Amino acid sequence: MKAYMKNIFEKVYGDSEGVRVFFAPGRVNLIGEHTDYNGGHVFPCALTLGTYAAIRKRNDNLIHLYSENIPNCLVVERECGDYKIYNKSGAWSNYPYGIFWSLKEKGIDVKNGYDIVYYGDIPAGAGLSSSASIEVLTVYMLSVMEGFEMSLTDMAILGQYSENNYNKMNCGIMDQFTSAMGKDGHAVFLDTVTLEYEYAPLELKDKKIIIINSNVKHSLGSSKYNERRSESEAALAALQTELDIESLGDLTEEEFDNNQMLIKDDIQRKRAKHAVYENQRTIKAYNALKENDIDTFGKFMVDSHISLRDDYEVSCEELDVIVEEGLKCEGVIGIRMTGGGFGGSCVSIVETDKEEAVKKAIGDNYKKRTGREASFCSVLAGKGPYEL
Ligand code: GLA
């Protein structure tokens, strides 16, 4: 990959003398969806897929960005410090520039120009956090190039800050945290309030985790996402009129059931129910996995999907078809949509010896029912950012 990145750099900027190459991973969430901004738990793992960048200092104060993933991409240029305006035409460049901007906001003002090329092997819009990987990658490589100290957790927090305040997507911490803190062969069980976490080995013996991409891009995602977040916040405010809680993650299912009528709005009540139940489900699923009870883990995955579909309403027809077809297959232990929703991917645990048959059945039936092609990949849990 290093040679590949240097080649792109050479093509774009003329030569690749002194270029350094970095990587940060995407993620797949196993369970705990839309809980990270509701004071709950998540259980994702970083992937070996992600975003690469090749970078070199310039002798002036211009920051040049290029993406190999954008057809006919032109180099985007800005002067150091000039990040105020969100760039509508070069939309992808708002992720890296957002990091330069956020660093400046936090007192780290990059004064030296850079030539940078990006290339990602995560399909865009697949719900596997290509944007978080760009954010974590950018702050990580700048910390090396500029020589400032920042913990990986703080890099994740900066990435989220950038996404919230520059890209106006009110995401939680899950994606950036997983990209920054990923560990080979492990998933991360994270309390999104305290940021305390535990690594869990993903040793599934005769089973494996696969990702099924619906190839429906979750383009409506950010506006609907922000809407869900506001609905959850309104539900919390209604509960807080009587209950002394900080977030929906503070409630057990029973406490929620006993107090749900405080939420007068039917939609908001459904959103809150998902947040509470999904958080408790995530804790239980994590405990089941620790006890090697993969079947129970798989059942929780399916319950998670149903709740996301019916109560949180962030699934879509295509994701539901994949889950439905998956559940008809022998050897599927669990399956659900993963990530923000409205398109993107499903994640599934399957028996390894049934994998090919499962993929074929889901692929064929998905095509029949939606006219679309699904794509599949195996999950290899990878590590956080590094220099190649
Ligand atoms: C997106 C957000 C995350 C999280 C998920 C849903 O990926 O970036 O913070 O909220 O959706 O679980």
- Confidence class for position 114, pLDDT limits 50, 70, 90: very high
* Confidence (pLDDT) at 164: 94
How many of the other CB atoms lie within 10 Å of CB of 226? 14
Question: What burial class does residue 225 get, using C-beta atoms within 10 Å of its C-beta: 0-12 exposed, 13-18 middle, 19+ buried?
Answer: buried
Q: What are phi and psi of 57, to 5 degrees?
A: -65, 145
For the entire predicted model, the pTM comes to 0.96
What pLDDT digit, counting tens, does each position of 146-189 carry? 999 999 999 999 999 999 999 988 999 999 999 999 999 999 99
Of residues 89 and 320, more confidently modeled:
320
- Is it the case that residue 260 has pLDDT exceeding 80? yes
What pLDDT digit, counting tens, does each position of 327-353 carry? 999 999 999 999 999 999 999 999 999
174 C-beta closer than 6 A to ligand 1: yes
What does the alpha-carbon distance between residue 309 and residue 19 come to, in Å, rounded to a whole number? 46
Q: Give nearest CA residue, ligand 1 atom 10.
A: 34
36 C-beta closer than 6 A to ligand 1: yes
Question: What burial class does residue 85 get, using C-beta atoms within 10 Å of its C-beta: 0-12 exposed, 13-18 middle, 19+ buried?
Answer: exposed
What does the alpha-carbon distance between residue 374 and residue 362 come to, in Å, rounded to a whole number? 8
What pLDDT digit, counting tens, does each position of 122-134 carry? 987 899 999 999 9
* Confidence (pLDDT) at 135: 98
CA distances to 31, 107, 114, 257, 268 from 271, in Å: 17, 38, 44, 13, 5
120 C-beta closer than 6 A to ligand 1: no
218 C-beta closer than 6 A to ligand 1: no
Least Cα distance to 97 among 163, 157, 145 occurs for: 163
* Confidence (pLDDT) at 219: 65
Least Cα distance to 28 among 273, 213, 266 occurs for: 213
Q: How far is the CA of 109 from the centre of ligand 1 (A)?
A: 29
% of the chain at pLDDT higher than 70:
98
In ligand 1, the atom with minimum distance to the C-alpha of 131 is 8
In ligand 1, the atom with minimum distance to the C-alpha of 29 is 12
In ligand 1, the atom with minimum distance to the C-alpha of 35 is 12
Least Cα distance to 59 among 96, 8, 111 occurs for: 111
- Confidence class for position 89, pLDDT limits 50, 70, 90: low
Ligand 1 pocket: which of 28, 29, 36 to mutate (most atoms within 8 A of CB): 36
Instruction: Enumerate the active-site residues.
Output: 175
- Confidence class for position 84, pLDDT limits 50, 70, 90: confident
Q: How far is the CA of 31 from the centre of ligand 1 (A)?
A: 11
| Identity of the residue numbered 29 | N
Q: How far is the CA of 40 from the centre of ligand 1 (A)?
A: 12
How many of the other CB atoms lie within 10 Å of CB of 373? 11
229 C-beta closer than 6 A to ligand 1: no
Mean pLDDT of the chain: 96
In ligand 1, the atom with minimum distance to the C-alpha of 132 is 8
* Confidence (pLDDT) at 221: 60
Q: How far is the CA of 338 from the centre of ligand 1 (A)?
A: 9
What does the alpha-carbon distance between residue 243 and residue 52 come to, in Å, rounded to a whole number? 47
- Confidence class for position 35, pLDDT limits 50, 70, 90: very high
- Confidence class for position 220, pLDDT limits 50, 70, 90: low
- Is it the case that residue 42 has pLDDT exceeding 80? yes
- Is it the case that residue 218 has pLDDT exceeding 80? no
171 C-beta closer than 6 A to ligand 1: yes
Query: Concatenated DSSP letters for 167-199?
Result: S-----SHHHHHHHH--TTEEEEEETTT--EEE
What pLDDT digit, counting tens, does each position of 264-316 carry? 999 999 999 999 999 999 999 999 999 999 999 999 999 999 999 999 999 99
* Confidence (pLDDT) at 64: 97
In ligand 1, the atom with minimum distance to the C-alpha of 174 is 9
Q: Give nearest CA residue, ligand 1 atom 2.
A: 171
Q: What are phi and psi of 112, to 5 degrees?
A: -95, 140
Of residues 83 and 196, more confidently modeled:
196
172 C-beta closer than 6 A to ligand 1: yes
339 C-beta closer than 6 A to ligand 1: yes
pLDDT, mean of residues 221-248 = 94
Q: How far is the CA of 132 from the centre of ligand 1 (A)?
A: 10
